[in-house]
Amino acid sequence: MKQFFKFFFASMLGFIVGSVVLMFITIGIFAAIVSSVSTPEKKEASSNSVLTLSLNYDIKEQTVFNPMANFSVFGGVDLSPQLGLNDILKNIKKAKSDSHIRGIYIDAGTFGGGIATAKQIRDALIDFKKSKKFIVAFADVYSQKGYYLASVADKIFLNPLGAVEWKGLGAQIMFFKGLMEKIGVEAQVFYDGRFKTATEPFRYDKMSGNNRLMTRQLLNSIQHTYVNEISVSRNIDTTMLYRIADSMLIRNAWTAKSYGFVDEIGYSDAAKNYINSKLNNGKDKKINFISMADYKRTPDGDKYSLDQDKIAVVYAQGDIVDGNGDKDNIGGDKLAHLFEKLRRDDKIKAIVFRVNSPGGSAVASDVIWREVSLTNEVKPVVVSMGDYAASGGYFISCNASKIVAQPNTLTGSIGVFGIIPCTQKLFNEKLGITFDTVGTGHFSDFGNLTRPVSKEEGIIIQNEIDSMYATFKKRVYTGRKLDPVVVDSIAQGRVWTGTQAMANGLVDTLGGIDDAIRIAADLIHSKNYKTTEFPEQDEKWFDILSALDDKKDEEIQMQLKNNLGEFYSVFEQVKTISELKGVQMRLPYLMEIE
């Protein structure tokens, strides 16, 4: 017994000492993080520097500050903070006039952002070239979006064993009808709009004629933008570009060069030697590369004065959800409260509302629409559309003073739907579970998922869907000052590209967020203005536990992507479906266009 207590107390002492040491180590790490955050290190670009542009990650609209991004829950350290579109554009604009920056090096390969995001960055690079500085691109393999971006470069390099994807655009839609029949779940669907195809995966096992027509026309419109812009940059005839894609004539590096898609075949050292020649350096000399993240911390050189008019830039990205939402979606209540705050702020003279959303909750969309409308009565609201501004995303935009979209933005989808799953067969026939209910009235168990919707309940639900659809169309023809008959013809749940939407009167002009800011300044007759971004990102103080939790979620998501590969999109769609609640204003599907 004496020996037992000896080992017991020794173990206890070891545990206590170890815990104290671990506690001090943890406090030290957190103190170091807080210290580095409280005094962010300023960078200075060396003379003869080259800005590197690597965009093979999911590009958000706004850089979200999270110092824990450098720490990996599963091991390893991420040394490449990922900037949002806002800071990428600012960096390119700043580099244009920065005498320290001689050019840009694009690590082009794959592009993680959406199609409208790619165009926004591409346009910024074209503007950068007006400074007569060089742009060089290199990749082992160019995806179609990656090449679309890289095609602005003065010199394009390709790995000898690499290739350029140029095969036309395609969109694949997943259908769940067969799966649901197998597990005994029936999707009871209610919708308005003959092109509101969001419910098709639950009703059919393939595309309807309307869906196929709409999708093909969308792809043709987007490819038209790709082809025309690459034709100008690479001096290749558009007819030839279509023929090359249709026959997939580019099959290796040598055919890519023979058709004029790339300038040189070689490894990354060849691209760097070319850059050295542009810098008047010797061969193999080390180049002063500066990353986008480091360049963000260099002085921007802009002069601000107290008498400048302030334009707020409000970012809204993700699904529209009820309540406050989180960092990955748009909370109806939270965004509405922000607009109310900005409306009452006399220092804010105009608002640019950046929308990148496929839609979501009809109720949350209406809450946001109301505050945007009230704000627009007091000061101009200009909408800038990103990759998506469809269904609920268009609903919250339609009453703005002006709407700006990219040619390849996906917008419209003016329609409404609701899905109520019936699990009766799953429980009764598959699991042997039955249910019985007692209620005080005829509709007491309305919304019960273990039985089919009755005829009377179905009429009630469809009437509500019809009413919401009528409200949606009214919001559009009132906000856009269009004939109701015209709106009915271009609504029907149909998705349009930005180019098509402008022809239909759903948007005012084509362009990016910088164009929207200039329009907002014109509306307040200001040539002396500055912008302030919302939600505000505070780089000095943050919630460490929240940051750790966010990082953990990102790590888990990355692990799922790596392990599931091409089936990750299946997981995402099933997750989205499981979260659908109430009446929805949502894009039929998120198209991964390559």
Query: Catalytic amino acids?
Result: 196, 391
Strands 416-422 and 186-192: antiparallel
Distance CA 473, CA 489 (A): 10
Distance CA 463, CA 370 (A): 23
Q: How far is CA 177 from CA 65, 180, 554, in A?
A: 42, 5, 31
**C-alpha 229: how far from chain center:** 22
Q: Which amino acid makes up residue 64? A: V
407, 225 in Cβ contact below 8 A?
Answer: yes
Secondary element (H or E) of residue 331: strand 330-331
What is the token pair recorded at 560?
């799922």
Distance CA 230, CA 241 (A): 9
Q: Which of 113, 170, 175 has the alpha carbon at shortest distance from 574?
A: 175
Q: How far is CA 564 from CA 78, 556, 558, 571, in A?
A: 22, 12, 10, 8
Q: Which of 480, 319, 336 has the alpha carbon at shortest distance from 398?
A: 480
Strands 320-321 and 495-497: unpaired
Q: Which long-range contacts (CB under 8 A, 24 or more apart) does 240-248 make?
A: 241/166, 244/166, 245/166, 245/167, 245/168, 246/168, 248/166, 248/167
DSSP bridge partners of 496: 411
Distance CA 220, CA 525 (A): 39
Burial class (CB in 10 A: 0-12, 13-18, 19+), 496: buried
Which residue matches tokens 């996906």? 410
164, 158 in Cβ contact below 8 A?
Answer: yes
Distance CA 271, CA 139 (A): 10
